[in-house]
Amino acid sequence: MGGTSRPAHLRRSNLVTLCRRCHDRVEAHPEVARALGYRLDRHQDPEETAVWASSVLGAGWTHLWDDGSVALSPLPAPAPAVSFTA
């Protein structure tokens, strides 16, 4: 199991639970994952980067906050032009 010396990696806004299949897709397609908000560059703030997700709130660009709250983006935004393919 991997680890990190960067406390920022453990922020709640930086954590997304994925099933094995989705995790494998993120790992296999890093550029798609980056476009969908599942991979961030070190300089990116996870609270300021939405992730394309489907949840009980609906599907869309979703903001994750360090206090554990989740919100769909209040601004209409187009669906991403990329997607994971099997």
Shortest distance in whole angstroms from residue 1 CB to Zn ion:
20
CB 36, CB 47: distance < 8 Å: no
| Cα 58–Cα 61–Cα 8 angle in degrees, nearest 5 | 120
Applying CB under 5 A, the span of 5-13, 15-23, 38-46, 76-84 interacting with Zn ion comes to 15-23
Instruction: Say whether residue 22 binds Zn ion (CB under 5 A).
Output: yes
Shortest distance in whole angstroms from residue 73 CB to Zn ion:
21
Site for Zn ion in 23-82 (CB under 5 A): none
Distance, in Å, from the CA atom of 21 to the CA atom of 37, rounded to the nearest integer, reads 17
